[in-house]
A and B are shown apart, each in its own frame.
Chain A
Amino acid sequence: MINASTRITKSLLAIHGWSAVFLGLLLYAVILTGTLAVFEHELGVWANPPVQASDRPLPEGIGARLKILADSVDPAYLDEVGVFPAADGRLMAFFHTHIDAEPGREAFEDGTLILLEPSTLDEVDRVTGPADEVFRHFGNNALSNFLLDLHIRLLLPGQWGLWATGLLGFAMLVAAVSGFVIHKHLLKDIFTLRRRRADVLAARDAHVIAGSWSLPFAFVLAFTGAFFSFGGAIGLPMLAAIAFGGDVETALEVLQPEVGEDASPAALADLDGILASAAARTGGEPQNVFINHWGRADALVTVRMSAEEGGLLPGAVLYKGASGEFFKTLPNLGNEPSFGGDLAGLMSPLHFGNFAGTPSKVVWFALGFASAYVALTGMVLWTRRRESEPGWERLARATAWLGYGLPASLAAVAAGYFLMIDGIAGLGNTLLFLFLGGLFLTALLSFSASSTDVANRLLLRLTGAIMLVLPLLRWQVADGPGWLTALSSGLGWVVVMDISMILGALACLAYHRRQDAPVWVSDASVDDDLTVAERVADAA
């Protein structure tokens, strides 16, 4: 696209290819799980739905219900109360307090998490402990959580996972930029997909065309992904130290809206009335609510709203908890509208694609799918060009293994979830072991097959077969609702997901590569069609 010199093109091609060789397979895993995680909530509802869906994120009567629940928890946990819908559509109410950091121990939240049926507001179960334990205690969201863990942390512990995915996000950014520069005829070639040419040329077109069409969004997804991982791992702690002279907790305290400390007891005003007022004031829908200092005169209620029609950044409305009077409206980030707040706030809708419900999620899923396809075809292309050289055969095999073995293993995790889950009981590390077992088995299959094509076909059929039985397992083994029950309970996503699984399964089972004989075209026009990068690559 850009008229770069041959030397620069050569360097960039090397960067593009080698970053892929070292990080491509892991990047593919992160992109694929991220693509599925776009439908995190829909997958959650499908995997373990509540009895009846609620028509809004915070159902009517939640305020009165919370007051009763507040009497049943340790008063220390009334320090902060958060209420929000979980991935599966049930409601979570987290009564908690903040425990400060000590030498050798980071700050954490400690409290009681109560799970509620969204339609009746009946208590399903409760658990008390540190936040990172209680949120993993129940099994209802285990499938979505597993997917997110794989996407955000590659299943690595602590900060290591964020470092790894941050590096992968950066590698994707580098690949997108270098790919853009080395592909000199991006616009000229954008509709040219050769399928009946020699294998390598067809693979090149598949990679380049998908890459060209997903380029702007691959850049955005990579940039925002690197922002989230490194922002969380090093950016925020470091900047909190520089800007606020302390850790992230200190920064959050400094940024708390000023209401004036007053620990004298005071009953909380009508919460349902506050939610209704917030909806009327903004014209939006309350998404979740946080109450600071419940039962004190300085109680503060923060109602986070959906973004306004056509907007990307949701805001919040603050109310004084004791009197129930309106306090102020808040932008997406920070106490006052600011350029920095809006800029950082944009990262989240741009990465998650959840800014406009199903339409935006469908588009973001497609963009993620295209990016995963680009990562995989890129690896296939780079290894196929060197297949005859020693050592590369193995990487080609590994590419084929993860390319097809990862979807198969993920499908196996879902199947395992339905076989093991019992109501909302926790699953511990079962899904992790299932996933690793799946990867191990598919590796055996892939590396022992007579050729990568045979292995790929086998793994694709395996993925299809598992996906095909998933709706049946969900319905019969995991005691999920049938289609009629689901539809009458407002759980339409259960049916949509079942059908998507069946269609995906059929696509995997029916797919076959056309076995065209490679046709080498040796007329002179071929060379004109090649870009500098291709000629450099072919010469290499």
Chain B
Amino acid sequence: MSIDVVALLLALPSTLILWLLADRDPKRLRVRRLRDRAPLSTRQRKIFSVLLFSPGLPLLALGYWSAFLIWFGLVFMLGWCVALILSVLPR
């Protein structure tokens, strides 16, 4: 399997973490007045943010720059998509 496909697969765990971060994002919950779920604490957000970017580290460590860039760009685009999707989903 090409390392660039591995990069695409590594975006999956990152997407899950992005979704979690977005779903429990304090400001989003406040602005949309969603009081049925607890927002993440600052500490939790920090931990998840580190986890979000951890799948890319092995790619960097092994020198797979092309795969790292694909994964990195994908994380940012998926983050935008998650924000867009959550904004149109019904409460």
Contacts and interface: CB of A to CB of B under 8 A. Distances in A.
Are chains A and B touching in the complex at the 8 Å CB cutoff?
A: yes
Contacts of B25: 190-192
B3 A310 contact: yes
Q: Which of A191, A194, A216, A355 has the most CB of B within 10 A?
A: A191
Contacts of B27: 185, 188-189, 191-192, 529
A349 B65 CA distance: 11
Interface in A493-531: 525, 529
B47 interface: no
B77 A195 contact: no
B51 interface: no
Nearest to A369: B77
B76 A360 contact: no
B77 A363 contact: yes
Interface in B1-39: 2-5, 7-8, 21-22, 25, 27-28, 30-31
Nearest to B85: A193
A311 B65 contact: yes
A217 B66 contact: no
Contacts of B84: 193, 209
Contacts of B21: 191
Contacts of B76: 213-214, 216-217, 367
A357 interface: yes
A258 B84 CA distance: 57
Given A363-B74, A364-B73, 10 more contacts: A191-B83, A192-B28, A213-B76, A213-B80, A216-B76, A217-B76, A311-B66, A359-B70, A367-B77, A370-B80
Interface residues of A, number: 34
A312 B69 contact: yes
B53 interface: no
A516 to B, nearest CB: 12
B78 to A, nearest CB: 9
B48 interface: no
B88 A195 contact: yes
Contact of B8 (A194, A210, A310, A359): A359
A195 B87 CA distance: 7
Q: Which 8 A-B pairs have the closest CB atoms?
A: A310-B64, A193-B87, A213-B80, A363-B73, A191-B25, A191-B22, A356-B66, A356-B4
A355 B67 CA distance: 10
Given A191-B82, A191-B86, A193-B84, A366 B64 contact: no
A25 B80 CA distance: 23
Contacts of A349: 66
Interface string A207-226: 00110011011000000000
B67 to A, nearest CB: 6
**Size class of the B contact interface (CB-based, 8 Å):** 20 to 34
A213 B5 contact: no
Contact of B80 (A209, A359, A364): A209
Interface of A: 185, 188-195, 209-210, 213-214, 216-217, 307, 309-312, 349-350, 355-357, 359-360, 363-364, 366-367, 370, 525, 529
Nearest to B64: A310
A363 B59 CA distance: 17
A62 B46 CA distance: 57
B73 to A, nearest CB: 4
Nearest to B73: A363
A191 B28 contact: yes
A360 B73 CA distance: 9
B28 A359 contact: no
Contacts of B7: 359
Contact of B4 (A189, A350, A360): A360
Contacts of B30: 525
B3 A366 contact: no
A378 to B, nearest CB: 15
A370 B62 CA distance: 30
A241 B24 CA distance: 58
A216 B66 CA distance: 16
Contacts of B8: 359
Contact of A312 (B2, B65, B80): B65
A185 B69 CA distance: 26
Nearest to A365: B77
A355 B66 CA distance: 7
